[in-house]
Amino acid sequence: MENEQPYQEISQAPRLDWQVNGRGYYGDFGGAFIPEMLHPNVEELRNRYRSILEDSGFQEEFAGLLRDYVGRPSPLYEARRLSEKYGARIFLKREDLNHTGAHKINNTVGQILLARRLGKTRIIAETGAGQHGVATATVCALMNMECVVYMGAVDMARQAPNVARMEMLGAKVVPVQSGSRTLKDATNEAIRDWINHPLDTHYIIGSVVGPHPYPDLVARFQSVISREIRNQLEERTGQPNPDWLVACVGGGSNAAGTFYHYLDIPSVKLVGVEAAGKGIHSGASAASTVLGRPGIIHGSRTLLMQTPDGQITEPYSISAGLDYPGIGPLHAALFQSGRATYLQATDAEALEAAFELTRLEGIIPALEPAHALAKLKSLSFHPDEVVVVCLSGRGDKDLETYIRNLPEKLKTESKSPGKP
């Protein structure tokens, strides 16, 4: 473990087709569409992130925290009963076992180390459901950094436990009262804050979205997922490449991390799963590859759900982490080129898959990766094929939703007489 240097491998990986170009584009998507006043902050980050990430001192510190604080490598678990049901060798990449319960911590640990090397003392973030806010507040406590999290007032009311967690961790949670008082309004406030604090503040973005270099930066931090999958599969099956990789897509960071080292290996089939909410065309979904058109959101050009005159459409999903009206520019390019396939799972399908995994394997997944699990039945596998599903987070945060939606059989059982 001592001389393990994950980023060395990343920087030397033969990623020719899918490397972001110098202007921050993946094909037609990406770039940095930002207000003039934000240029100095984004320029500094763009000019310095590669050399900081490739520095051996940085790599050592990052690898050490991923190991001792996050608990990596996360297990690659061969789910035998699930495999039997779907007729392939199915492995689950257990990001749910990370500290704080999801993959988001991989990115926030990386970004706070980057912020320190940039000489920043103050961290800002925006959050929708609060998951990214909690992951950010966590690393700020760890590094003794001031932390301000912008959150829509509506979201704060809906996600009170996460607000309490962030405050307990020492973050200041600022309610945003403008617009629809949800994620996109919180993002606007965070950008305004950054413009006003260009010298001492780093803005931690939580997915592979935002202006260049954020999509690339976050993908590199999350790429530890596919780096581990490669080693673990080699050990378990004798070869490092699976036949299929399946991951849910909100902004797309856990999927980007799962795909990263396989992007240029065409024999590995990549499947991203978006939220179809109450149905793709119901008016209540977040199926950005089906409903989206090219547009600009959070500073990059990507596929975006919008009205004919370019207003961003309010997205919907039962899972807060997938409730986003766009996808990261890397995914837009993977979709457009056909390198990856994007499927959609409804709320009901995700719930069913979550209950199924719980009963088959004794693992309660978060609602987000339950969308990925829900599409196993739509893919046709050969029995000897190897499938890896990224289990991006655990279900504790979704327990209330699960209890409200218990399958009828479970409901009757729990109502059975004999209990006080």
Ligand X SMILES: *Cc1c(COP(=O)(O)O)cnc(C)c1O
Q: Which residues are catalytic?
A: 104, 126, 392
What distance lies between CA 234 and its chain's CA centroid?
25
Binding to ligand X by CB under 6 A, coded x per residue (else -) over 129-168, reads --x-------------------------------------
Question: Position 173: which residue type?
Answer: V
Question: Dihedral of CA 350/352/356/359: which sign?
Answer: positive
Q: CA-to-CA distance for 133 and 396, rounded, in angstroms?
A: 17
In the region spanning residues 165 to 184, those forming contacts with ligand X, defined by CB under 6 A, are none
Q: CA-to-CA distance for 348 and 95, rounded, in angstroms?
A: 23
Considering only 22-30, 145-153, 244-252, 303-311, which stretch makes contact with ligand X by CB under 6 A?
A: 244-252
Query: Does 275 help bind ligand X (rule: CB under 6 A)?
Result: no
Q: Nearest to residue 281, comparing CAs of 211, 197, 344?
A: 344
Binding to ligand X by CB under 6 A, coded x per residue (else -) over 198-217, reads ---------x----------
Between 89 and 372, CB nearer to ligand X: 372
- What are the DSSP E strand ranges found in 259-328? 269-277, 293-297, 300-304
Considering only 33-41, 137-145, 191-199, 247-255, which stretch makes contact with ligand X by CB under 6 A?
A: 247-255
Between 61 and 361, CB nearer to ligand X: 361
Q: Whose structure tokens read 């393990």?
A: 4
In the region spanning residues 18 to 77, those forming contacts with ligand X, defined by CB under 6 A, are none
In the region spanning residues 327 to 366, those forming contacts with ligand X, defined by CB under 6 A, are 366
Considering only 37-45, 175-183, 250-258, 308-316, which stretch makes contact with ligand X by CB under 6 A?
A: 250-258
Which two structure tokens, joined as six digits, stand for 333? 């390019």
Question: 21 CB contacts (<8 Å, ≥6 apart)?
Answer: none
Query: Does 226 help bind ligand X (rule: CB under 6 A)?
Result: no
Residue 247 CB, nearest approach to ligand X (Å): 7
Between 210 and 393, CB nearer to ligand X: 393
Residue 244 CB, nearest approach to ligand X (Å): 18
Q: Nearest to residue 363, comparing CAs of 96, 108, 114, 100?
A: 96
Between 210 and 251, CB nearer to ligand X: 251
Query: Does 393 help bind ligand X (rule: CB under 6 A)?
Result: yes
Query: Does 392 help bind ligand X (rule: CB under 6 A)?
Result: yes
Binding test (CB under 6 A) with ligand X, winner from 109, 174, 249, 332: 249
Q: Whose structure tokens read 């993002």?
A: 187
Dmax over CA atoms of the chain, in Å, equals 68
Query: Does 111 help bind ligand X (rule: CB under 6 A)?
Result: no
Binding to ligand X by CB under 6 A, coded x per residue (else -) over 361-390, reads -----x-xx---------------------
Q: CA-to-CA distance for 159 and 134, rounded, in angstroms?
A: 11
Which two structure tokens, joined as six digits, stand for 48? 């310095």
Binding test (CB under 6 A) with ligand X, winner from 46, 94, 104, 184: 104
In the region spanning residues 398 to 417, those forming contacts with ligand X, defined by CB under 6 A, are none
Buried b (16+ CB within 10 A) or exposed e, 135-168: bbbbbbeebebebbbbbbbbbbeebeebbebbee
Binding test (CB under 6 A) with ligand X, winner from 252, 277, 299, 329: 252
Binding test (CB under 6 A) with ligand X, winner from 321, 326, 329, 395: 321
* 348: three-class secondary structure by DSSP: helix
Question: Is 335:342 a contact under the CB 8 Å cutoff?
Answer: yes
Which two structure tokens, joined as six digits, stand for 163? 């607000």
**Could you list the residues that contact ligand X (CB under 6 A)?**
102, 104, 131, 207, 248-254, 321-322, 366, 368-369, 392-393
